[in-house]
Amino acid sequence: MPTGNSISIILLVIQLILAVGTHLYGFLGVPLAGYVPMCTYPPKLNSNFDLINEFRTFVMVLCIGITLVILYFSVKTERLIHQRSYDTRTRYTAFENMNTSKSVCTLIVIQFSSILISSFGVTIIRKFEPVIPQEIFHTIIPFLPGVTYANLCLPVVIYYRTIQAIRRRKTRIVTITSASADVESHIKWLNETWRM
């Protein structure tokens, strides 16, 4: 069974292969003379740029989908634990795991969404380049990669999610510690309720 460290190394290698592979596929053998270093102005002889951008967009949509599936199963598992387990420690650990998963998945989705808008926007604008007047095209197109800089707002999201997690944690602790009865009486009460 691979460890977390080996999984992260494998994911970094995959990311490196995708980055270098798409760069070589797109720009190998293409003279870079007159190239503006922006993803919106590729070299004129590069015929693979739009294909690479569409592939990149597909991978990002796939990553967002996988992240949302992971979040769904995390929330579902936490709810099942709360329905089936009466051990306070297990329930609290499940709650903390679910909270952490929500925070991490929120950050991943925000990050991929901002990059996706940039990538997909470039693809759409470039497809309509012949129809759009040149002044408008050259005014809009350089700003699309700027959406990627929305990632600079992630510290604000991290701060908000941290404050939210602290509040939930305090509420949960108060709820658990203010319970007047012990676990045995709670289970007895549940059994009596279920028999009715």
pLDDT reported for residue 49: 74
* Distance in angstroms (rounded) separating the CA atoms of residues 125 and 44: 16
Find the mean pLDDT for residues 153-172: 79
Instruction: Kindly state the DSSP code that residue 96 receives in the 8-state scheme.
Output: H
> What pTM did the predictor assign?
0.64
- Around Cβ 85, how many Cβ atoms within 10 Å? 13
pLDDT of 36 > 60? The answer is no
Q: Could you give the angle at the alpha carbon of 39 between the alpha carbons of 34 and 44, nearest 5°?
A: 40
* Cα–Cα nearest to 78, from 59, 91, 67: 91
Domain boundaries defined on the chain: 50-176
Question: How does residue 101 score in pLDDT terms, banded at 50, 70 and 90?
Answer: confident
Inform me whether the pLDDT recorded for 79 exceeds 70.
yes
26 contacts 39 by C-beta, under 8 angstroms: no
- Residue of higher predicted confidence among 29 and 2: 29
Using the Cα atoms of residue 92, residue 94, residue 95 and residue 99 in order, give the sign of their dihedral.
Answer: positive
46 in the Ramachandran plot: left (φ > 0), alpha (ψ -120 to 50) or beta?
beta
Residue 10: the pLDDT is 83
User: pLDDT exceeding 90 applies to what percent of the chain?
Assistant: 0
Cα separations in angstroms, 38 against 35, 106, 119, 145? 8, 28, 12, 8
Q: How many CB atoms neighbour CB 176 within 10 A?
A: 13
